[in-house]
A and B are shown apart, each in its own frame.
Chain A
Amino acid sequence: MSNQGGTPPPLLAGRDLAKAHGRTEALRGASVELRAGEILAVTGTSGSGKSTLLHCLAGIVRPDAGSVTYAGERLDRLPEKRLSELRRTDFGVVFQFGQLIPELTALDNVALPLMLAGATRADARTRAGEWLERFGVRGQGELRPGAMSGGQAQRAALARALVTGPKVVFADEPTGALDSLATEQVMTALAHTVREAGTAVLLVTHDAQVAAYADREVRLSDGAVLPSEVTA
């Protein structure tokens, strides 16, 4: 990509991150940088620490060691309340599943972050509808997630992650439960939208075809980033 010369400071950077779950060390000194507007794929075998890295960078879990800097702020030192607010305003998350509340309709699910930010229900629903439209699931707006197909539900989840206009979207295996056609629809929708809006994406995946939607790839192995192989 054309990032040579006068590289701006990264939007989000994790340095020497370490995190253990009980006795298993998920991360052992991983460092990664995310620049504004880029899609960065984090790949690696299962158990290599991909999800934990995403959780640390998104301020969902606190690393045991190392630092996370977002727009000049040390996330690893922020109080939980402020982190929660940041995740609400500046970040969006998409998981394999679980980020849609099963009892709420797709439209209300997408409207929820706006309502949390203080919008009225009617207002939030109107804007949520526009986002569902962009992801081609406007017609399913009154359905609950359980009544939608996997691909439709994930597109609604993308709409929910993007509706507040975040700076960074964290996607953890967003297509993990989808077939290849649905994967293509979800990833194309994601790529188009974030490029249009200039949103940066940290995309955790084990699927090379999904990682190919990114501008760059970082490979994890045993909780550390593998040195990048330079071609050409």
Chain B
Amino acid sequence: MSTRHILLGLLEAGPSHGYDLKRRHDERFPQARPLAYGQVYTTLQRLVRDGLAEVEGTDADGGPERTRYRSTEAGAHELAVWAGAITPPAPFVANEIFAKVVVSILAGGDPAAYLGAQRAAHMERMRELTAVKTAPTADLTTVLSADFALNHLDADLRWMNTTAARLTTLTAEVDSA
């Protein structure tokens, strides 16, 4: 996830303060990990350093002084290139759940119990997300972001089901290697 590009994108909509950007980010990407204000600040400084954004001015209407940033032409270009570029489809297959299953077999643990518990945790999370998206107040952004997570959890779950059904074979294979 590229925070710089997301902030650049938000700046494209118009000049903003750091705090404003954080608020808009959290609004646009509900269910995502909220941005820390410090992270916004450092990212903005790097964007300015690389010439992708510039300081437009400062506002201080009554409160503390706030710097207003805006995107540059180079920033707009960078953003367009990033937005059009393909995200590498799963370049590395590294999955914590799979790793835990294998390690559990190696260490003589109970991978079946782990998979069961993980499955239950996944279902619980899916129920939460479903409740979020079916709430009468949910807007389309919320529904779509929840759907994205739900589909991924569902994929994990299906993988866990097939793995659980083939644990015996997997154990034999891991133990013999």
Q: Is chain B in direct contact with chain A in the complex (CB below 8 A)?
A: yes
Interface size on A, residues (CB 8 A): 18
Summed over the interface, the residue pairs from A and B with CB atoms below 8 Å come to a total of 45
Shortest CB-to-CB span from B135 to chain A, Å, is: 10
**A24 contacts B by Cβ under 8 Å:** no
Closest to B113 in A: A229
Residue of B126, B129, B158 with most partner-chain A CB within 10 A: B126
Contact B120 A212 (CB under 8 A): no
CB distance from B129 to the nearest CB of A (A): 7
Q: Does B78 contact A (CB under 8 A)?
A: no
For the residues of B in contact with A, the DSSP-based class is helix
Q: Which of A191, A229, A231 contacts B134 (CB under 8 A)? A: A191
User: Which residues in window 182-230 of A have CB below 8 A to B?
Assistant: 184, 188, 191-192, 208-209, 211-215, 217, 228-230
Report chain A residues within 8 Å CB of B124.
Answer: 231-232
Kindly state the separation between the CA atoms of A209 and B43 in the bound complex, as whole angstroms.
37
For B123, the chain A residues whose CB sits under 8 A away are: 208, 211-212, 217
Contact: B120 with A230, CB < 8 Å? yes
CA distance A45 to B124 in the complex (A): 19
Most buried by B among A184, A209, A211, A217: A209
Whether A229 lies near B120 (C-beta < 8 A) is yes
Please report the C-alpha to C-alpha distance between residue A19 and residue B150 in the assembled complex, in whole angstroms.
Answer: 35
Closest to A219 in B: B119
Residues of A within 8 A of B153 (CB): 208
Q: Which of B136-177 contact A (CB under 8 A)?
A: 136, 147, 150-151, 153-154, 157-158, 161
Contact A213–B158 (Cβ < 8 Å): no
> Min CB distance, A127 to chain B, in Å?
24
Specify which of B117, B129, B130 is in contact with A229 (CB 8 Å cutoff).
Answer: B117
Cβ B121 vs Cβ A192 within 8 A: no
Q: State in angstroms the CA–CA spacing of A217 and B153 once bound together.
A: 16
Partner of A212, one of B116, B117, B127, B136: B127
Question: Chain B's nearest CB lies how many Å from the CB of A71?
Answer: 27
Query: Given A215-B127, A229-B117, A229-B119, A208–B134 Cβ distance below 8 Å?
Result: no
Instruction: Tell me the complex Cα distance, A91–B153, Å.
Output: 33
Of the candidates A209, A214, A228, which one forms a contact with B120 in the assembled complex, judged by CB atoms under 8 Å apart? A228
Minimal beta-carbon separation of B128 from chain A (angstroms): 9
Q: Are B130 and A231 in contact (CB under 8 A)?
A: no
In the complex the two chains form, what is the Cα distance from A199 to B154 in whole Å? 27
- Quick one: closest B residue to A207, CB to CB? B154
Nearest CB to that of A188 among chain B residues? B134
Question: Do A231 and B126 contact each other (CB < 8 Å), given the known contacts A208-B158, A209-B150?
Answer: no
Q: What chain B residues lie within 8 Å of A192 (beta carbons)?
A: 134, 136
B residues within 8 Å of A by Cβ?
Answer: 113, 116-117, 119-121, 123-124, 126-127, 129-130, 134, 136, 147, 150-151, 153-154, 157-158, 161
**Interface pairs (12), CB distance under 8 Å:** A192-B136, A208-B158, A209-B151, A211-B123, A212-B129, A212-B130, A213-B127, A229-B113, A229-B117, A229-B119, A231-B117, A231-B121
Counting from the closest, the 6 A-B pairs by CB-CB distance are A212-B126, A229-B120, A229-B116, A212-B130, A231-B121, A231-B120
